[in-house]
Amino acid sequence: MPSPTQQTPAAAVHRNLELVVRENQALLEKINFEQVAALLPLIQQANRIFVVGAGRTGLALKATAMRLMHLGLSVFVVGETTTPAIGAGDLLLAGSGSGTTSSIVKAAEKTVAAQGQVVALSTTAESPLAKLATQVVVLPAAQKQDHGGTISQQYAGSLFEQAVLLLGDALFQTLWAQDGTPAEELWKRHANLE
């Protein structure tokens, strides 16, 4: 087999996609799905849902927000100009690999002060964000500055960010199955000003 530097570009992309899939499959086996299942009633019972994450984690949570909106839930992305104040009965879905990202922790503090609930998606249950959370889901992936390659060979927090996106889709699929609304009805809520 040729070394990675001798492979064709197509073979290198194929090899790296296999790496991404393999790492996500391995992470799947380490997730505590009782933690994940505990999110379902929190999402279903929330008056409104707010999502917050920085960088690529934030992008992954925006995708989750879109799917929850398709279910007919009232969902907002923290930082958007039309996002209202959070309050009692609301839920903040916060993603931070380290659980220490200052803007995410500050949003969680404000949520708790407003009598809302916080769900933390993180690589650790021992962090400032986790201490503020009603429920923590640990995704045991590498943090951004874990450059050793023992947990993930991918760059920075890529595995965590991918896991946030995939978990968001799995939560949506589960909630959708429970809801039973036909896809055609959900599609009516899809953006039509694009």
Supply the DSSP symbol for 190.
Answer: S
**What does the mean pLDDT of the chain come to?**
94
Mean pLDDT calculated for residue range 166-173: 98
Q: Which residue has the higher pLDDT, 107 or 2?
A: 107
The answer to whether residue 2 sits within a structural domain is no
CATH number of the domain encompassing residue 150: 3.40.50.10490
The answer to whether residue 189 sits within a structural domain is no
Catalytic option among 161, 184, 185, 194: 161
Q: Are residues 23 and 154 in contact, defined by beta-carbon separation less than 8 angstroms?
A: yes
Q: Are residues 114 and 144 in contact, defined by beta-carbon separation less than 8 angstroms?
A: no
The answer to whether residue 184 sits within a structural domain is no
The answer to whether residue 37 sits within a structural domain is no
The answer to whether residue 147 sits within a structural domain is yes
Mean pLDDT calculated for residue range 140-161: 82
pLDDT in tens, 80-116: 999 999 999 999 999 999 999 999 999 999 999 999 9
Residue-range definition of the domain harbouring residue 100? 49-179
pLDDT in tens, 60-81: 999 999 999 999 999 999 999 9
User: Distance (Å, rounded) from C-alpha 93 to C-alpha 43?
Assistant: 9
The answer to whether residue 42 sits within a structural domain is no
Q: What is the pTM of this model?
A: 0.92
pLDDT band per the 50, 70, 90 thresholds, residue 5 = low
Residue 145 has pLDDT above 80, yes or no: no
pLDDT band per the 50, 70, 90 thresholds, residue 156 = confident
pLDDT band per the 50, 70, 90 thresholds, residue 147 = low
User: Distance (Å, rounded) from C-alpha 114 to C-alpha 111?
Assistant: 5
Residue 1 has pLDDT above 50, yes or no: no
Q: Is 185 a catalytic residue?
A: no
Tally the domains of the chain.
Answer: 1
